[in-house]
C-alpha cells in the first residue's frame, strides 16, 4: 500500500472511531444544524461509523447489512464486556451505550434493498 493511501486510511479510521465513541473535534456548541448528526436519525448516525469498515464493498471485513439484530447485539455486547479484548472492535464497542447497541442492531437488521 502506498504511503499516501495508508495515511488516508488511518485518518478515515480515526474519524470513524471518533464518531463511534461520540468524540468530537469541535465543541458541542459549535456544531451547526446542518451537521450529519442533526440531518439523519441517531441510528443512521451511529451506523455511519460502522460503514467505514463494514460495507457491501469491503472485501476485508464482513458487511453488517442483514447480519441480524440478535447476532449483532450479542457480538457488540461481547466486545464491550471483554476485559482483555484489545482489538479495534473491543475499543469501539466500549464507547457505545446499551441503547446505542440496540439502535445499531435494529438498524442493520432492516432490509435496505428496497428504495
Domains of the chain: 3-109 (1.10.760.10)
The residue-averaged pLDDT of 32-53 equals 71
Q: Which three cell numbers stand for residue 57?
A: 464493498
Express each pLDDT in 70-102 by its tens digit: 999 999 999 999 988 889 999 999 999 999 999
Express each pLDDT in 51-61 by its tens digit: 888 888 877 78
Can you say whether the dihedral through the CA atoms of 49, 23, 86, 10 is positive or negative? positive
Q: What is the pTM of this model?
A: 0.60
Does 115 score more than 80 pLDDT?
Answer: no
Label residue 41 by pLDDT band (50, 70, 90): confident
Q: Could you write out the DSSP letters of every residue in 84-100? A: T--SHHHHHHHTS-HHH
CA–CA gap between residue 95 and residue 21 (Å, rounded): 4
Amino acid at each position: 500500500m502506498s504511503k499516501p493511501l495508508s495515511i488516508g486510511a488511518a485518518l478515515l479510521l480515526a474519524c470513524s472511531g471518533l464518531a463511534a465513541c461520540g468524540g468530537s473535534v469541535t465543541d458541542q456548541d459549535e456544531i451547526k444544524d446542518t451537521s450529519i448528526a442533526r440531518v439523519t436519525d441517531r441510528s443512521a448516525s451511529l451506523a455511519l461509523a460502522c460503514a467505514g469498515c463494514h460495507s457491501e464493498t469491503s472485501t476485508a471485513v464482513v458487511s453488517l447489512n442483514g447480519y441480524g439484530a440478535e447476532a449483532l447485539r450479542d457480538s457488540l455486547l461481547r466486545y464491550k464486556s471483554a476485559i482483555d479484548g484489545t482489538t479495534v472492535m473491543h475499543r469501539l464497542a466500549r464507547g457505545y451505550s446499551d441503547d446505542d447497541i440496540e439502535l445499531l442492531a435494529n438498524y442493520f437488521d432492516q432490509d435496505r434493498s428496497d428504495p
